[in-house]
Amino acid sequence: MTYTSDEMMAVAAARALSGRQRVFVGIGLPSTAANLARRTHAPDLVLVYESGTLGSKPDRLPASIGDGILAETADAVISVPEVFNYWLQPGRIDVGFLGAAQLDRFGNINTTVIGGDYHHPKVRLPGAGGAPEIAASCREVYVVVRQTSRSFVERVDFVTSFGHGTGKGDRERLGLRGAGPTLVITDLGVFRPDPDTSELVLTDLHEGVALDDVRAATGWDVKVAPELGRTPPPTAEELSALRALKEASK
Amino acid sequence: MTYTSDEMMAVAAARALSGRQRVFVGIGLPSTAANLARRTHAPDLVLVYESGTLGSKPDRLPASIGDGILAETADAVISVPEVFNYWLQPGRIDVGFLGAAQLDRFGNINTTVIGGDYHHPKVRLPGAGGAPEIAASCREVYVVVRQTSRSFVERVDFVTSFGHGTGKGDRERLGLRGAGPTLVITDLGVFRPDPDTSELVLTDLHEGVALDDVRAATGWDVKVAPELGRTPPPTAEELSALRALKEASK
Amino acid sequence: MAEIGTLADAVGELIADGDVVALEGFTHLIPTAAGHEIIRQGRRDLTLVRMTPDIVYDQLIGAGCARKLVFSWGGNPGVGSLHRFRDAVQNSWPVPLEIEEHSHAGMANRYVAGASGLPFAVLRGYVGTDLPSVTATIKPITCPFTGEELTAVPALNPDVTVIHAQRADRDGNVQLWGLLGVQKEAVLAARRSLVTVEEVVDELTPVPGAIVLPSWAVTKVAEVPGGAHPSYAQGYSERDNAYYAAWDPISRDREEFANWLREVREEVPA
Amino acid sequence: MAEIGTLADAVGELIADGDVVALEGFTHLIPTAAGHEIIRQGRRDLTLVRMTPDIVYDQLIGAGCARKLVFSWGGNPGVGSLHRFRDAVQNSWPVPLEIEEHSHAGMANRYVAGASGLPFAVLRGYVGTDLPSVTATIKPITCPFTGEELTAVPALNPDVTVIHAQRADRDGNVQLWGLLGVQKEAVLAARRSLVTVEEVVDELTPVPGAIVLPSWAVTKVAEVPGGAHPSYAQGYSERDNAYYAAWDPISRDREEFANWLREVREEVPA
């Protein structure tokens, strides 16, 4: 079966989830991946949405974090203050699954402004939403993002959500409890923070992608893991599950 | 109809409530009085119980603040943190209706310890419950208490709930928003704080009670209002409503 | 006791130029009809507060009703950007828009503090981000027991909060269910409140997951069926996803938007 | 995922001597059977936490299980005093009992802070009272925005919280309704938790006013029908008011209490 690079990204992201992990799901790519995982190899995933649903089990992709299907299929529906205070903040969530408009070498995320200064930006983005505290409080953070040299930058224009700051030890110094971004999945490959420096390093290339494609789409001199992996292409089962999810949401 | 002094007290306390007042109801005498008021002249009273019920409409006296009938007949059932944080603390309640083991000349309430010191008390009482914040946050506080020279004292052994402290201006100095105890109803009469000193002054004698009875049952040299009122005895309607409430709760 | 009346009267009586106004609703139960009535009544200089300003705030901003936005995520959910919001921030069109920007956790806790009669709330938030450098209402606070440093944000106490709910009874008690967002807190934090409802009924029969706001905690209620469109009211309507998509081209273009605005201004109020 | 097992096993595995243990329930849904099992297993030196210690805490204290009580109101609701509690405070019988005394608002907020992963909570509380002079865990705190002084109390994070609920499903998801008290907060604040339930069912059908604690937020579930007696479980049982009255003479007399204790110790655990 042929597939798009977005489909490869969704499948690779879905594969990162497993078992009974509690996943705080951002809308868009993360939600697609988390729902795909739940419909394929990880049916027991616990999906938590910031709109206040614990354990949502939608049978189609929610159109937004407030899609009614998230409430109707949830184990519990709670208020927005409660989801942040009782469920996210104390560290009850295993994986925070985020998107990004801009991501930097140390996994910091920008969804606020690009270019210019804060008060006179070139592009005004939606802002923080739940991301700063998701990035701070979940045990790990996975980021799913389409990679270009404009989105994958040396240093984000604005730190909306803190990743690894300027490198190893910054999170600990700030007293952040979660491990921060441990996995970044793009349409080209997979990145993980270097254990010594926390710099994002390419650890896997998706099937059919060349290393030069990644270099061209990375705004810094990207390091490559000594043993570079290859993401297996989507299986027929994965692709049909993904397409069925998307079809059902139309 | 003959009646007991407790019945007179309940009726006098009930008469103090009116209209659509929001009343935070302590269990025991205050609950009896508030429910009697709702069943007689003030059907629109909003009864709030610290167990988390807004607008309870019980048709019998609840056996405790957690009686199921309070939840079953409420407009809304909420958690205990919510009742204190969202409903009591911001000043949404008109009248805090409290009992007391010991009450002093300035309306301070003790329900903690009597005699000895705090760590070696002569009598250990139940403690604060919701009262300190009820006394602080409601627009006014009404206290219902059986009066003896041991319960009506110059100075409480322990300030569980702050009334008027040592006199006029203490509440303002502490930044308390509510007016504090504006009415004290006993089995002998009614007391109100003097507008200049905040000392509790006898303003009404219940029918059949002599001034000397009050003096004998007050642990300080009690002042009497220049125009001492007389509480009319319970009407037949009030008495039968009160007895029906009590009967139904057996 | 909440008064039950028309939307136009309620907006007219409750909302004045310069007010701090929150129209809350977390994707579900967004009080869009009330927003359009604010546009029709030509309010100006509002400080608009909302966790998730979306289309109705884009419309209010494009119509020139707002001088400031307090928020944590502004977008057209599932579609993209708010172009009227962008135009106001980037080009001061039609009027300059000041912004006060928080995270969801911060905004939610600001409403909680407001509903609780407290001047501030404490959270683990904003650490390491650039938000405290651009937003004055984020400050450190130290735990008096452990010495640990946390973050404080000030209470939000809007002059008026507007929400949409499924039902009210004739006494003005309000019932809502499904995704509850931060609506209860936003109403309780406000000095005055308006609830538009799908219907006014004789009795609020119990519904699983429903909460009730007692009549005495609400200022005014107006019956506005479909008042949350293009969002939805669980049990009453579905989200109109096509409208969200259709908003994108309208909002991208000032002239298209002006046409839309003219139509809304000519609508007969609910 | 909550494990479903017997009460005796759950208490044995979760509660150790010296633990900080909260058995919560605000008149409704009091986990009395679990308290009796703690007595049978002979736990010692517990710090017992509860807003409203009533009969079951009187029993635990009389049985010598506790060295400390953290509370805001201790009494036999609708009847009078807790005589075992009084005897422990006034006469150190059977062992001395340290107390840490708060108000309801303070205790509720301490659980909220605990459930929220915060080290403290802020409230308008205790002002003018003598409680801060006898309780070290009440301190002033200043609003960083307004300069106003408020009150801080530290988080409660029990080693174990025990509650009773109406139902659980076979995955260990717990559902409770009626008066909810502070049970959700107490469970979420605790390191470990045990929920006794009236019944384990195949499916948790929705109930108005019900909340659900997901299985992954609970450590163990035990099916103990009537486990809240003499309190009640709405929809399952009525409060046994006669038992509350009958407790008064038993608890007033050390010998009567000893007889009661012997009987409980001989009961076959649920």
Count the Cβ atoms, other than its own, within 10 Å of residue A247.
11
pLDDT tier, A4 (very low <50, low <70, confident <90, very high otherwise): very high
Query: Which of B65, B160, B171 is the closest to D129 by Cβ?
Result: B160
Compare all CA atoms of chain C with the CA of A89 and give the residue at the minimum distance.
C124
φ/ψ of residue D220, rounded to 5: -140, 150
Q: Give pLDDT tens digits for C179-204.
A: 999 999 999 999 999 999 999 999 99
Which residues, numbered 4 to 43 in chain A, qualify as contacts with chain D under a Cβ-Cβ cut-off of 8 Å? 20, 22
CATH topology of domain C3-102+157-262: Glutaconate Coenzyme A-transferase (3.40.1080)
Q: Give pLDDT tens digits for A65-99.
A: 788 899 999 999 999 999 999 999 999 999 999 99
Query: Which of D90, D104, D148 is the closest to B84 by Cβ?
Result: D104
Average pLDDT of the residues in A44-70: 91
8 Å CB contact of A64 and C104? no
Please check the confidence at residue C270 and state whether its pLDDT lies above 70.
no
pTM: 0.98
Which entry of A50, A133, A199, A238 is annotated as an active-site residue?
A: A50
> Which distant-in-sequence residues (6+ apart) come within 8 Å of C68 by Cβ?
C46, C47, C48, C97, C98, C99, C100
Q: Smallest CA–CA separation between C115 and chain B, in Å?
A: 6
pLDDT tier, B111 (very low <50, low <70, confident <90, very high otherwise): very high
Average pLDDT of the residues in B140-145: 97
pLDDT tier, A39 (very low <50, low <70, confident <90, very high otherwise): very high
DSSP notation for chain C: -PEEE-HHHHHHHH--TT-EEEE--SSBS--HHHHHHHHHTT--SEEEEESS--HHHHHHHHTT-EEEEEES--SBTTTB--HHHHHHHHH--SS--EEEE--HHHHHHHHHHHHTT-SEEEES--TTSSHHHH-TT-EEEE-TTT--EEEEEEPP--SEEEEEEEEEETT--EEE-S--TTHHHHHHHSSEEEEEEEEEES-----TT-EEE-GGG-SEEEE-TTTTTTSB-TTT----HHHHHHHHHHHH-HHHHHHHHHHHHHSPP-
Contact B43, C213 (CB under 8 A): no
Q: Which domains does chain B have, with CATH numbers?
A: 5-248 (3.40.1080.10)
Mean of the per-residue pLDDT values of chain C: 97
Q: Smallest CA–CA separation between D91 and chain A, in Å?
A: 41
Burial of B73 (0-12, 13-18, 19+ CB in 10 A): middle
Domain ranges of chain D: 3-102+157-262, 104-154
Q: Give pLDDT tens digits for C118-160.
A: 999 999 999 999 999 999 999 999 999 999 999 999 999 999 9
Chains that touch C (3 or more CB pairs under 8 A): A, B, D
8 Å CB contact of A22 and D116? no
8 Å CB contact of B76 and C214? yes
Contacts of C206 in chain D (CB under 8 A): 208-209
Residues of B with catalytic roles: 50
8 Å CB contact of B80 and D108? yes
Which residues, numbered 188 to 227 in chain C, qualify as contacts with chain A under a Cβ-Cβ cut-off of 8 Å? 209
Query: Which of B85, B89, B92 is the closest to C217 by Cβ?
Result: B92
